[in-house]
Amino acid sequence: MTYIAKPKLHHPTLARNSVGYTRRDYEGTVSTLCAGCGHDSISAAIVQACWELDIEPHRVAKLSGIGCSSKTPTYFLGNSHGFNSVHGRMPSVLTGANLANRDLLYLGVSGDGDTASIGLGQFAHSVRRGVNMVYIVENNGVYGLTKGQFSATADKGSKSKRGVANTDEPLDMIGMALLLGASFVARSFSGDKQQLVPLVKAAIQHRGAAFIDVISPCVAFNNHPGSTKSYDYVREHNESVNRLDFMEAREEITADYAAGAVIDVAQHDGSVIRLRKLAPDYDPTDRIKVMNYLQERAAAGEVVTGLLYVQPDAADLHQHLNTVESPLGQLTERELCPGSVALERINAALR
Amino acid sequence: MKRIDAINDFVVMFANVNGSGSASANELFARSILRMGVPVSPRNIFPSNIQGLPTWYEVRVNENGYQGRRGGVDLVVAMNPQTWAQDLKEIESGGYLFYDNSKPLPKSKFRDDVNVIGVPLTEICNATYSDPRQRQLFKNIIYVGALSALMEIEPGEIEKLFSEQYKGKEALLQSNVKALRLGREYAQQHLACPIGLRVKRANNVGSKIFVDGNTAAALGAVYGGATVCAWYPITPSSSLAEAFIKHCQKYRVDPATGRNRYAVIQSEDELASIGIAIGAGWNGARAFTCTAGPGISLMQEFIGLAYFAEIPVVLIDVQRGGPSTGMPTRTQQSDLLSCAYASHGDTRHVMLFPEDPTECFEFSAQAFDLAERLQTPVFLMTDLDIGMNTRLTDPFQWSDTRAFDRGKVMTHEELEAGKEFGRYLDVDGDGIPYRTYPGTHPTRGAYFTRGTTKDRYARYSEAGPDYVDNMQRLVRKFETAKQLMPKPLLRPAAKPARFGAIYYGSTSPAMHEALDVLALRGIHVNALRVRGFPFQDEIADFVAAHPWVFVVEQNRDAQLKTLLVNEAKVNASRLLSVLHYDGTPITARFIVEQISQHAAARTVVPLKRVGA
């Protein structure tokens, strides 16, 4: 934890993006998490992704539940509205916010306790509904703020800091997201910025429920030998299926790839996700094969990362509900109130 | 044998089997009387069941417009053998028993002091129809036909109702008219028509409308500008959400694009319902959830968050009996305390108490203004009796000059001009701060929403003085709410009165009738109808002006009385509770009896003075 305030002055030579903001404009207040916490790297990746995508900070709404991870929205995008809601209930608040104004970008930040335990139901149902959002779980397998209890994503047999082995089966959030119809599913590692930033960018560009499970070691309670969520363990067992080179439509593809080594996935807005294959034959658009592959690799003890699944033409909740283009919260009496003449007709029909 | 003779003033109870198609026939009976200009108030008493269990439909016919449940029954239409004994017992001495006499029943099944009317409904049906479903459904219409002859209900009105209902469905119309006539003809040929209970055309319905409270509250939400509704099915509030959807399909579709100006989510549970409504309210939409007591229990944590984070949201609580299943299909006013103080921490919430469907409409629309003006959860406290029963009520009114009160929202222009913004800063002294919608301005007005841990500028703060400062402002805000709430309504007694009575919500019709009856007996009572919480000063003044004040409620624990003592600081020793909580709607008879007893106890002159 640092007590040094961030300097407010920005150096005039700091690079600006096409909407006129420097990278610093996407930062928040100084983090109060432990030094070395994986979550701070994820915050940095979100800052980088939003800056690179030229997103105006105030057009993002960041929502969270309760826990270390849910504190992080204070530490990025200081010019965005944020909502630190109740434990495990971020998905419902985000769903409602999204219904009120479809024009903003919704970033839900949660943890493994917040999502896989107390909030499992809300996670499942927000994904089922196809809420247009980026849902990031900062997954460390442990309850930090309450001092080191196992969470529901802790692997069976992994050991707590005090040496106790976990006897419960882990909850597979990626598997659930796939089963429940998430149209963008990825897993990454907070220690791999090169992989994480493009994934966050692609998730932001995706329309529909985008879920990213980011393994984010807890340096205070879950970074010891015997843990399967430690920096060392994840680095040793990380098997990336692909590397994502996010492209925008207008950019010419100049990189040189060997034939058959890339997959291009066209997004709903015309942009293209270019994936460099690391696992041969891995097709991230075939849901059934993806589910089989992930189960196989998990049984072999691998932590598979990368863009695991994407359905580029997914529809979102607003499409399901056939809502108007204008944000519902901005409609006025004129569009919403049927008026006295209609009411007289209603009265007449009730006599 | 004694026979009850009454014109336009009696109670008919239909005892049916759930799922037998009786509901629409029974409603037809009620509506036909209404069309003759005579007020009726029907009540469904139904089980937690889809098919097979007993269900009752009680119709009170009353020319004076008394719509409370009267108590007692003058005519039972006994269509359910399972409840025969129980139903027979309900009949007033000299009353009538209408039954299907296709099969002979032993004399022991009847009462000596009840007039028996037998119609071979099954026999008539079997002779006329071959399809089993038709035999079942038309049996109901046939008894309506027979009753119309026995009670002098004009068949023309019933046939008119059929033609409205089956517009464009000629075959259905004809078959219903045929069944109706079968019943009428049987009664005219075989029975002494009319009986002592008769309907005589009157002119006492006027411009009133016939509608249930859930439909009305849902319409209020449409007029009040609600665009987001999240709900989880629960009796007796489900029909409210469904009515909202129906109204929206009619009035909230953009004619140019065919797209919806509303969003309804049937969520996975009540926690998600309130979360969705809060998220939408935070982001600038008018949002609500509708539920019943168990839902309120589940929403507690979120309600506290909305209170402290100051997010507008409307909760419609259609109150019912306790948890689990069974009694929940009966009515009560038993969620007052759980709503008034919902959640952890020090909280107090705004509540509205509509008395009928008209006020369900008005208060529902008003709730959205209150929620946004006060930036807080607002509870519309209806109940099963109002919500799920069709009631004759004043027509809905709306002024086209009425604008939504969106409350204190700082705009892009104000932020751009450099107006000071502090999310929890009390700039006007009324305890209500300004808020901004997300996405308003690139560099100003963004804030982080949390529960209690913040200062006036929404910066994270665990400092005690900041917490206390915020809590005191919330007290000021609740004071401000008093001015915005609907005022209590006084119904003064005709003569100077020592007694006062406070009542609210669905108790109204029974209370009004009871006050008239009491006045005839020489017991004069000033009555005050409380319409919202927080309580205005008028309520404490009213209590102070009477030596004794009855507080009439439909719960066991005198919840309004508790709130009055706790919040309005009234003298508890002046308050006398009149409590009805068996799940049936309160009756005038009950109130009269209770108040008469209390009054008698307080006018007794001691035979012997102590120490004399």
Q: What is the mean pLDDT of chain B?
A: 95
Closest Cβ opposite residue A96 in set B228, B254, B436: B228
Q: Do A96 and B278 touch (CB under 8 A)?
A: yes
Cα separation, A324 vs A245, whole angstroms? 34
Q: Give the domain CATH number at B581.
A: 3.40.50.920
Q: Do B279 and A95 touch (CB under 8 A)?
A: yes
Confidence of residue A336 (pLDDT cuts 50, 70, 90): very high
Residue of B nearest to A85 (CA): B450
Q: Do B269 and A121 touch (CB under 8 A)?
A: yes
Closest Cβ opposite residue B438 in set A104, A321, A340: A104
Residue of B nearest to A72 (CA): B448
Contact assessment for residue B335 and residue B256, using Cβ atoms and an 8 Å cutoff: no
Q: What is the mean pLDDT of chain A?
A: 91
- pLDDT 10s digits, A172-208: 999 999 999 999 999 999 999 999 999 999 999 999 9
Taking the Cβ of residue B405 and every Cβ of chain A, the question of whether any pair is shorter than 8 Å is answered with no
Q: Do A350 and B287 touch (CB under 8 A)?
A: no
Tell whether B185 and B222 lie within a shared domain. no
Closest Cβ opposite residue B257 in set A92, A324, A328: A324
Tell whether B154 and B32 lie within a shared domain. yes
Contacts of B167-176 with C-beta under 8 Å, sequence gap 24+, read B175/B134, B175/B138, B176/B138, B176/B141
Q: Which residues in chain B are closer than 8 Å to A342, comparing Cβ atoms?
A: 251
Closest Cβ opposite residue B448 in set A74, A95, A97: A74
Q: Tokens in use for B572?
A: 């508890």
Predicted confidence at residue B45, as pLDDT, reads 85
Contact assessment for residue B417 and residue B66, using Cβ atoms and an 8 Å cutoff: no
Q: Which residues in chain A are closer than 8 Å to B305, comparing Cβ atoms?
A: 85-86
Q: Do B269 and A323 touch (CB under 8 A)?
A: no
Provide the domain count of chain B. Answer: 4
Confidence of residue B76 (pLDDT cuts 50, 70, 90): very high
Q: What b/e sequence results for B70-94 when a residue is b if at least 16 CB atoms lie within 10 Å of its CB, and e otherwise? A: bbebbbbbbbbeebbeebbebbbee
Instruction: Of A43-47, A189-193, B277-281, B385-389, give the lowest mean pLDDT range.
Output: A189-193
Tell whether B256 and B389 lie within a shared domain. yes
- pLDDT 10s digits, A37-78: 999 999 999 999 999 999 999 999 999 999 999 999 999 999
E strands in B464-589: 489-491, 499-503, 525-529, 532-533, 548-553, 575-579
Contact assessment for residue B86 and residue B53, using Cβ atoms and an 8 Å cutoff: no
Closest Cβ opposite residue A333 in set B263, B397, B403: B403
Q: Which residues in chain B are closer than 8 Å to A83, comparing Cβ atoms?
A: 279, 282, 309, 448-449
Please say whether the dihedral angle defined by the alpha carbons of residues B84, B85, B86 and B92, taken in this order, is positive or negative. positive
Q: Do A83 and B448 touch (CB under 8 A)?
A: yes
Using CB atoms and an 8 Å cut-off, which of residues 234-253 of chain B contact chain A? 251-252
Residue by residue, what is the 3-state secondary structure of B333-370?
A: CCCHHHHHCCCCCCCCCEEECCCCHHHHHHHHHHHHHH
The 3-state DSSP class for residue B119 equals strand
Q: Give the domain CATH number at B85.
A: 3.40.920.10
| Residue B557 is assigned to a structural domain of this protein | yes
Q: Do B439 and A79 touch (CB under 8 A)?
A: no
Q: Do A340 and B208 touch (CB under 8 A)?
A: no
- pLDDT 10s digits, B301-344: 999 999 999 999 999 999 998 776 767 788 999 999 999 999 99
Q: Do A342 and B251 touch (CB under 8 A)?
A: yes
Tell whether B480 and B493 lie within a shared domain. no
Predicted confidence at residue A5, as pLDDT, reads 62
Tell whether B525 and B582 lie within a shared domain. yes
How far CA A228 is from CA of A150, A157, A305, in Å, comes to 12, 9, 15
Of B393, B420, B454, which one is at a domain's C-terminal end?
Answer: B393
Predicted confidence at residue A206, as pLDDT, reads 94
Contact assessment for residue B341 and residue B349, using Cβ atoms and an 8 Å cutoff: yes
Question: What is the length of chain A?
Answer: 351
Question: Angle CA(A30)–CA(A32)–CA(A38) in degrees, nearest 5?
Answer: 95
| Residue B416 is assigned to a structural domain of this protein | yes
| Optimal mutation site among B161, B203, B227, interface A, most CBs of chain A within 10 A | B227
| Domains of chain A and any CATH numbers | 23-333 (3.40.50.970)
Tell whether B385 and B508 lie within a shared domain. no
Q: Which residues in chain A are closer than 8 Å to B448, comparing Cβ atoms?
A: 73-74, 81-84
Taking the Cβ of residue B442 and every Cβ of chain A, the question of whether any pair is shorter than 8 Å is answered with yes
Of B420, B453, B484, which one is at a domain's C-terminal end?
Answer: B484
How far is A94 from chain B, CA to nearest CA, in Å?
A: 6
Cα separation, A220 vs B201, whole angstroms? 83
Strand pairing of A272-277 and A242-247? antiparallel
Contact assessment for residue A28 and residue A40, using Cβ atoms and an 8 Å cutoff: no
Query: What average pLDDT does the segment B563-578 reach?
Result: 96
- pLDDT 10s digits, A156-168: 999 998 899 999 9
Confidence of residue A274 (pLDDT cuts 50, 70, 90): confident
Closest Cβ opposite residue A99 in set B228, B438, B439: B228
Confidence of residue B8 (pLDDT cuts 50, 70, 90): very high
Tell whether B153 and B57 lie within a shared domain. yes
Q: Do B283 and A329 touch (CB under 8 A)?
A: yes
How far CA B309 is from CA of A93, B171, B347, B517, in Å, comes to 13, 59, 12, 49
Residue B291 main-chain phi, psi, to 5 deg: -160, -170
Q: Which residues in chain A are closer than 8 Å to B231, comparing Cβ atoms?
A: none
Cα separation, B445 vs B417, whole angstroms? 12
Residue B609 has pLDDT above 70, yes or no: no
Of B484, B518, B543, which one is at a domain's C-terminal end?
Answer: B484
**Which residues contact residue A227 at a Cβ distance below 8 angstroms, ignoring those fewer than 6 apart?**
A141, A158, A159, A161, A217, A233
Contact assessment for residue B435 and residue B414, using Cβ atoms and an 8 Å cutoff: no
Query: Which spans in B545-610 are helix H?
Result: 559-567, 588-601
Residue A254 has pLDDT above 70, yes or no: no
Q: Do A101 and B436 touch (CB under 8 A)?
A: no
Residue A260 has pLDDT above 80, yes or no: no
Taking the Cβ of residue B164 and every Cβ of chain A, the question of whether any pair is shorter than 8 Å is answered with no
Tell whether B173 and B122 lie within a shared domain. yes
- pLDDT 10s digits, B227-255: 999 999 999 999 999 999 999 999 999 99
Predicted confidence at residue A14, as pLDDT, reads 87
Predicted confidence at residue B612, as pLDDT, reads 45
Taking the Cβ of residue B173 and every Cβ of chain A, the question of whether any pair is shorter than 8 Å is answered with no
Least Cα distance to B467 among B348, B308, B247 occurs for: B308
Instruction: Of A296-305, B53-62, B98-107, B405-414, give the lowest mean pLDDT range.
Output: A296-305
Instruction: Of A159-168, A206-215, B508-517, give the lowest mean pLDDT range.
Output: A159-168
Predicted confidence at residue B19, as pLDDT, reads 83
Q: Do A100 and B227 touch (CB under 8 A)?
A: yes
> A274 - beta bridge partners?
A245, A264
Contact assessment for residue B76 and residue B16, using Cβ atoms and an 8 Å cutoff: no
Predicted confidence at residue A258, as pLDDT, reads 66
Predicted confidence at residue A7, as pLDDT, reads 67
Confidence of residue A259 (pLDDT cuts 50, 70, 90): low
Q: Which residues in chain B are closer than 8 Å to A319, comparing Cβ atoms?
A: none
Query: What average pLDDT does the segment B516-530 reach?
Result: 97
> B96 - beta bridge partners?
B75, B115
Predicted confidence at residue A145, as pLDDT, reads 87
Q: Which residues in chain A are closer than 8 Å to B205, comparing Cβ atoms?
A: 351
Residue A295 has pLDDT above 70, yes or no: yes
Confidence of residue B21 (pLDDT cuts 50, 70, 90): confident
Cα separation, A40 vs B236, whole angstroms? 48
The 3-state DSSP class for residue B75 equals strand
Tell whether B313 and B388 lie within a shared domain. yes
| Residue B584 is assigned to a structural domain of this protein | yes
Tell whether B118 and B137 lie within a shared domain. yes
| Residue B398 is assigned to a structural domain of this protein | no
The 3-state DSSP class for residue B377 equals strand
Taking the Cβ of residue B211 and every Cβ of chain A, the question of whether any pair is shorter than 8 Å is answered with yes
Cα separation, B380 vs B335, whole angstroms? 11
Quick one: DSSP state of residue B260?
Answer: B
Least Cα distance to A241 among A194, A209, A276, A204 occurs for: A276
Q: Which residues in chain A are closer than 8 Å to B36, comparing Cβ atoms?
A: none
Q: Do A330 and B284 touch (CB under 8 A)?
A: yes
Cα separation, A212 vs A173, whole angstroms? 9
Tell whether B471 and B573 lie within a shared domain. no
Strand pairing of B525-529 and B489-491? antiparallel
Closest Cβ opposite residue A104 in set B402, B439, B450: B439
Query: What average pLDDT does the segment B209-224 reach?
Result: 98
Using CB atoms and an 8 Å cut-off, which of residues 304-343 of chain B contact chain A? 305, 309
| Residue B321 is assigned to a structural domain of this protein | yes
Predicted confidence at residue B538, as pLDDT, reads 97
Predicted confidence at residue B605, as pLDDT, reads 58
How far is B319 from chain A, CA to nearest CA, in Å?
A: 25
The helix or strand, by DSSP H or E, that contains position B116, with its residue range, turns out to be strand B115-119
E strands in B454-605: 489-491, 499-503, 525-529, 532-533, 548-553, 575-579
How far is A152 from chain B, CA to nearest CA, in Å?
A: 21
Taking the Cβ of residue B279 and every Cβ of chain A, the question of whether any pair is shorter than 8 Å is answered with yes
Tell whether B335 and B372 lie within a shared domain. yes
Q: Do B439 and A350 touch (CB under 8 A)?
A: no
Cα separation, B353 vs B486, whole angstroms? 9
How far is B396 from chain A, CA to nearest CA, in Å?
A: 7
Predicted confidence at residue A251, as pLDDT, reads 52
Contact assessment for residue A73 and residue A62, using Cβ atoms and an 8 Å cutoff: yes
Predicted confidence at residue B46, as pLDDT, reads 80
Contact assessment for residue B153 and residue B199, using Cβ atoms and an 8 Å cutoff: yes
| Residue B322 is assigned to a structural domain of this protein | yes
Q: What percent of chain B has pLDDT over 70?
A: 98
Closest Cβ opposite residue A86 in set B269, B301, B437: B301
Q: Tokens in use for B78?
A: 């006994």
How far is B24 from chain A, CA to nearest CA, in Å?
A: 16
Confidence of residue A1 (pLDDT cuts 50, 70, 90): very low
Residue B381 has pLDDT above 90, yes or no: yes
How far CA A237 is from CA of A193, A197, A231, A346, B571, in Å, comes to 17, 20, 10, 67, 72
| Domain ranges, residue B521 | 489-601
Q: Do A92 and B272 touch (CB under 8 A)?
A: yes
Cα separation, B363 vs B365, whole angstroms? 5
Q: Which amino acid is at B290?
A: C
Residue A175 main-chain phi, psi, to 5 deg: -60, -45
> B197 - beta bridge partners?
B6
| Residue B521 is assigned to a structural domain of this protein | yes
Q: Which residues in chain B are closer than 8 Å to A329, comparing Cβ atoms?
A: 227, 280, 283-286, 437
> How many beta-carbon pairs under 8 angstroms link A with B?
224
Contact assessment for residue A188 and residue A196, using Cβ atoms and an 8 Å cutoff: yes
Instruction: Of A119-123, B134-138, B296-300, B517-521, give the lowest mean pLDDT range.
Output: B134-138
Q: Is B153 exposed, middle or buried (0-12, 13-18, 19+ CB in 10 A)?
A: buried
Taking the Cβ of residue B438 and every Cβ of chain A, the question of whether any pair is shorter than 8 Å is answered with yes
**Which residues contact residue B417 at a Cβ distance below 8 angstroms, ignoring those fewer than 6 apart?**
none
Q: Which residues in chain B are closer than 8 Å to A324, comparing Cβ atoms?
A: 254, 257, 259-261
How far is B504 from chain A, CA to nearest CA, in Å?
A: 25
Predicted confidence at residue A255, as pLDDT, reads 53
| Residue B233 is assigned to a structural domain of this protein | yes
Q: Which residues in chain A are closer than 8 Å to B286, comparing Cβ atoms?
A: 329
Q: Do B439 and A323 touch (CB under 8 A)?
A: no
Where on the phi/psi map is residue B568: left (φ > 0), alpha (ψ -120 to 50), or beta?
A: alpha
Predicted confidence at residue B606, as pLDDT, reads 57
Residue B611 has pLDDT above 60, yes or no: no
